[in-house]
Structure 1
Amino acid sequence: MSNAQIIDMSKLPAPAVVVVPELETILSALKADLVAAMPAEARSAVSDTLALESEPLTKWLERLAYQLVVERSDRNDSAHAVMLAYARGSDLDQLGAFFGVVRLVIVPAQPAAIPPVAAVYEDDDTFRARIQLAPRGYSVAGPVGAYVFHAKTADGQVLDAAATSPTPGRVVVSVLSRVGSGVPSQALLNAVSAAVNADDIRPLTDEVIVQAATIVNYQIAAKIYTLPGPDSSSVLTTAQQRVIAYAESMHRIGRRPTLSGIYAALHIEGVDRVELTSPTADVVVGETQASWCTAINVTHGGIVG
């Protein structure tokens, strides 16, 4: 959430605790240690022997080096598992539990169906963002982050939420749904309103109004020209997938799709140039609005050269 100012963890430097293993470096160190352990008069001969790929001892050291790489990779995974920026799946569930946050149900299970249908839960990235906001939810002084956290936790159908204060003592919580363009149902608005107006959440002096986020519609229309060599249809398909993913990532309150972002999504390997006809400027999105791409049309303009 832009107005809650959460940290973009994708921009944080890689953690220093994680050591990237290099097979050749480990193998060279193992060979050097073995040579150093030999009597001085035998070191040259042992070094020459270890330089032979067919030498059984060399093969054994290569296998040992590989095992050490695997072991260090496992350590890397273990370190990542306890970091909010990297944790996935059940590891992320455990981190969420530490903050009292559980993964929300998006689509309830249907155990009576034939065959039974499992529940669909919120994805890792959405869950991670709520965990980030969780400490702000502890406050009952009415900070922006607290309202956003409780609004997003009210129901699994809430895709995004924003809190603004147009006048002192008046808080407006805007809600974006996961369904269609994002316009929430009245039932969803009622659920969010009940959550943010609870006695142990809303300050006594705040008037909290819950509303639907205003949807700003736009379309993407572009023509790409490809270079000789790569299969044009594959390049076109990949470009379409990337621009769809970009539009979906911008479907949040306060995020504005930009021309540079669309160009970046389309200008992939194998593309010579992109002609973008729509939109003609950055999509203007306010702090209570969310963009919705109603159509995406990417065509092939031809092969250059």
Structure 2
Amino acid sequence: MNLDNLPNISFCETDGSNVEQEVITGYEKIAGVTLAAGDPVRLYLESLAYILTVQRQVIDLTGKKNLLAYARGDHLDHLGALTDTPRLQAYFASTAVRFELGEVQTSAVVIPAGTRITPDNQLMFATDDLAEIPAGSLSIDAIATCQTEGTIGNGFIPDQINRLVDPVAGVTKAHNISTTLGGAEIEADDRYRERVQLSPEKASVAGPSGKYEYWAKSAHTDIADIAVLSPTPGKVDIIVLLKNGELPNAEILNAVEAVVSPEDVRPLTDNTEVLAAETVEYTIELSWFIGRSNATLAASIQDKVNQAITDFMLWQRSALGRDINPTELAHQMRQAGAKRVEITSPVHTPLTGRQVAILAHDGLLVTYGGLEDD
């Protein structure tokens, strides 16, 4: 069930003018009088109506926070507790770090656990475990984790983290050899709400797709979409897509595998395999025009249309199995102010649940055709 399709509800009247009218009309009926504007009694009742309106808004909000579609923050956490579905906490980014010696040593060189390196003397990464450079070797690789949670630790490419904070005798160089990944913020309300809604599925013993989807999304907050497919009896493929259409690394795939493979989650007859989404590349080649009546807004419209194209690319790669849809592209551009759009590519292309559409490298060619008569 899509929560967005549920009707809006209200637990009590919250419109201030209606509450005021109820209070004044009720008093006039009981007292048998008509209160003119400015009457001291009417002014008192108006102030009372304001207090009642505020209280009713609190009552209405309190009632709504007990419903999944409306709950936010701590109230949503309490609803999650009813189905043993805690909010996912923030994750720390990590990377592989190589420690190098200036020359071969005759004895092992110990890299203590917690040895820190940094890209900027502010953000720190520290080794998870003790590591040793064996005698006769020049280097050793170790996993280092960011000491600040969240996405701030993501995206440092190899060699960007290269300043050794805690000196180690003999070590002349330390640097990351892989891009930092895995950092994530605490689970946002909308994503958490989806998992709470899915949580009853985890009680099933028959292996429905919703159960696998619930557990897979519990593995990491960056997971945006899951497809559960069974190409043959007993074979279950779990396809993973991250936020913004990113593909999962081995760490996240292993995390998903770890939560869907236990026997209390997976029926014994199911053989699960966790896979990254398959990418299908497309290109954008189009021309577009602005109506002459909007000539004075041309610069603003161009900015909005360019943003609409960017938004389309994000929309296209944000879900598994989402067909490549030029109609949606034209619609978003028209909403942004384009009078006419001529699209050469992409063409409509159906995708399977294993696939996600990604713009090809150098695949964007947009031509603004100028003004034309309305």
Same fold, judged at TM 0.5 (above):
yes
- Contact conserved, 2:13 with 2:19, CA < 8 A, in 1? no
Amino acid aligned to 2:234:
G
Structure 1, 93-102 or 273-282: larger mean CA deviation:
273-282
CA RMSD of aligned residues (A): 3.4
- Contact conserved, 1:218 with 1:283, CA < 8 A, in 2? no
Deviations 1:249-284 (A, max 9, x none): 441112335344334433447x36241526444342
Identify the match of residue 339 of structure 2 among 249, 273, 278.
273
Rg: which structure is higher?
2
For residue 59 of structure 1, what is the aligned residue in structure 2?
Answer: 43
Change (3 A) 1:204 1:117: closer
1:114-153 paired onto structure 2 within 5 Å? 117=148, 119=150, 120-153=185-218
Structure 1, 66-75 or 100-109: larger mean CA deviation:
100-109
Change (3 A) 1:174 1:73: same
1:108 aligns with 2:92: yes
Query: Structure 1 length as normaliser, TM-score?
Result: 0.78
Q: Distance in 2 between matches of 1:107 and 1:259?
A: 37
Change (3 A) 1:74 1:11: same
1:117-196 paired onto structure 2 within 5 Å? 117=148, 119=150, 120-178=185-243, 181-196=245-260
Change (3 A) 1:257 1:60: farther
Secondary structure of 1:30 counterpart:
helix
Greater share of residues in strand: 2
Q: Distance in 2 between matches of 1:255 and 1:90?
A: 33
Work out the percentage of aligned pairs sharing the same amino acid: 27
Larger RCO (alpha carbons 8 Å, 6+ apart): 1
Change (3 A) 1:27 1:276: farther
For residue 108 of structure 2, what is the aligned residue in structure 1?
Answer: none
Query: Structure 2 length as normaliser, TM-score?
Result: 0.65
- Contact conserved, 1:217 with 1:291, CA < 8 A, in 2? yes
Identify the match of residue 278 of structure 2 among 214, 239, 252.
214
Amino acid aligned to 1:215:
T
For residue 12 of structure 1, what is the aligned residue in structure 2?
Answer: 6
Structure 1's unaligned 5+ residue stretches are 1-6
Q: Distance in 1 between matches of 2:48 and 2:312?
A: 44
Greater share of residues in helix: 1
1:72 aligns with 2:138: no
Change (3 A) 1:61 1:130: same
For residue 314 of structure 2, what is the aligned residue in structure 1?
Answer: 248
State the aligned residue count.
286
